Structure 1
Amino acid sequence: MGCAGHCHQSAGMSIREWPAQERPREKLLTRGCDALSDAELIAVLLGSGVPGTDAIALGREMLGNSGGLSALLGDPGSAVQLRGIGPAKRARLVAALELARRSLAEQLAERPSLGNPSDSGNYLRARLRHLPYEVFGCLYLDNRHRVLAFEELFRGTIDGASVHPREVVRACLRHNASAVIFAHNHPSGVAEPSAADRAITRELRDALQLVDVRVLDHLVIGSGEPASMAALGLL
């Protein structure tokens, strides 16, 4: 009796023909988001599938072809073309991710202060993990470690040639920051600080000490949990 949903799909029925309690939208409204898989949540956003494929099957295909949820939703300018996904459906998916990011940003800004790397890690991971290129960003904090702003400063390989300490100092002064958390992503997915990461972090720390701005951390964003250079004793 528990295979009803799978039986309907294998019989080629459209989602509209499924029992109401098994349809993704109805399940979402009656049982909440946690009751739905990633593919079912995508199906709700898509609204419909394509000829011969229901929206859930299309969601599974999208997740499989793209390599996961973050890769699928991350880059609205991606050249990857997925069957049945036109501009309108892709726009819905990208908008949903952006709303999630903004919600995380609001939650971060409402905190009285940032007490440990996990407070900022989720937000910075949501901002940077999906990107197919390296980005170096700064989370600016006041003297009580409350969030002032987040800003992407540089793109490209993170080394002395692409990250300019003078520009970082100027940005911190522009935001009147008392402290800063750096973050950059590794598109390879490996969140391990490289020798270049460690070197530029020390250079930035030394430059910012001259203007009384503390470097609290440098987070390296990969496919799993961010690597905190502060926690690793690299600051």
Structure 2
Amino acid sequence: MNDNKPLMIKELPQEERPREKMLKKGVQALSNADLLAILLRTGTKNDSVLRVAERLLKKYEEIGITALSGLGPQEISKIKGIGPVKAVTLVAAIELGKRLNGAAAEQRAIIRSPQDAVDLLMARLRYEAREHFIVILLSTKNHVIATPTISIGSLNASIVHPRELFREVINHSAASVILAHNHPSGDPTPSSEDVSLTRKLVDAGKILEIPVLDHIIIGDNKYVSLKEKGIIE
């Protein structure tokens, strides 16, 4: 008999099984591994689903659970015990969480400062592996109407055409906009291309009489406001 063989879920005490624990104690009582185990559903011949979940968390333990928000199914499926179907399930659940969080933030958001815009988008953009260019659409009283993604670029660049951006603005009848994008490197320092694009979009907004109030560049828990930098007057 191998004493090191891991316990399978059905061999755990009933109160320690993730699903049963949730039903009895509530979702807040579950660990990160428990939550992942519920989504993964099954383990392997030699590993319980909890062991598989713990293996995934351990791979990114230096970064923490937030690392999962930036992973795609291809990367997750490299973990032993997680195939493509399970990986897609995890990515879908994480994306749903992001959208719920973003929707809740939008429902209560009023943008009064660059920090307000950062608070709205930091969780959404901070761990993205590619540049995402987003526009915050505002009402006449600076309530957030929507935050559509205009483009998704490469590791260090996104391509934004004024016509695509302002089509969204006009479709939502927004009164003004704030531009935002992330730097996957984690350093939000604006590049010369960022500055050039910002000026082009500000000029286009002036022609349409739709003010571009700011351009926020998001890094790893830090940001730069081009308004605060004096690049947008």
Distance, in Å, in 2 between the alignment partners of 1:146 and 1:181 is 12
Identity %: 36
- In structure 2, the partner of 1:24 is 18
Check 1:73–1:115 CA distance in 2 against 1; reply closer, same or farther (3 A cut).
same
Please state whether the residue corresponding to 2:145 is helix, strand or coil: strand
8 Å CA contact 2:133, 2:149 repeated in 1: yes
Please state whether the residue corresponding to 2:215 is helix, strand or coil: strand
- In structure 2, the partner of 1:50 is 44
Shift of 1:111: 1.9
Are 1:181 and 2:178 counterparts? yes
Q: In structure 1, which of residues 132, 136, 146 is the aligned counterpart of residue 133 of structure 2?
A: 136
- In structure 2, the partner of 1:227 is 223
Q: Which one is further off, 97-106 or 110-119?
A: 110-119
Q: Which one is further off, 12-21 or 122-131?
A: 122-131
Distance, in Å, in 2 between the alignment partners of 1:202 and 1:172 is 17
8 Å CA contact 1:108, 1:147 repeated in 2: no
Structure 1 residues 105-148: Cα deviation after superposition (integer angstroms, max 9, x where no partner): 33134226334445444553444344332221212122122232
8 Å CA contact 1:219, 1:226 repeated in 2: no
Shift of 1:43: 1.2
Check 1:18–1:118 CA distance in 2 against 1; reply closer, same or farther (3 A cut).
farther
Q: Which one is further off, 59-68 or 137-146?
A: 59-68
Count of residues in correspondence between the two structures: 225
Q: In structure 2, which of residues 10, 34, 38 is the aligned counterpart of residue 40 of structure 1?
A: 34
Please state whether the residue corresponding to 2:195 is helix, strand or coil: helix
1:78-93 aligned at under 5 Å gives the runs 78=74, 81-93=78-90
Q: Which one is further off, 51-60 or 117-126?
A: 117-126
8 Å CA contact 1:108, 1:120 repeated in 2: no
- In structure 1, the partner of 2:160 is 163
Please state whether the residue corresponding to 2:74 is helix, strand or coil: coil
Shift of 1:229: 0.7
8 Å CA contact 2:122, 2:218 repeated in 1: yes
- C-alpha RMSD of matched pairs (Å): 3.2
Are 1:151 and 2:145 counterparts? no
Could you tell me which runs of 5 or more consecutive residues in structure 2 were left unpaired when the two chains were aligned.
none
Distance, in Å, in 1 between the alignment partners of 2:51 and 2:119 is 29
Q: Which amino acid aligns with 2:68?
A: L
Q: TM-score, normalised by structure 1?
A: 0.75
Check 1:141–1:45 CA distance in 2 against 1; reply closer, same or farther (3 A cut).
same
- In structure 1, the partner of 2:68 is 72
Q: TM-score, normalised by structure 2?
A: 0.76
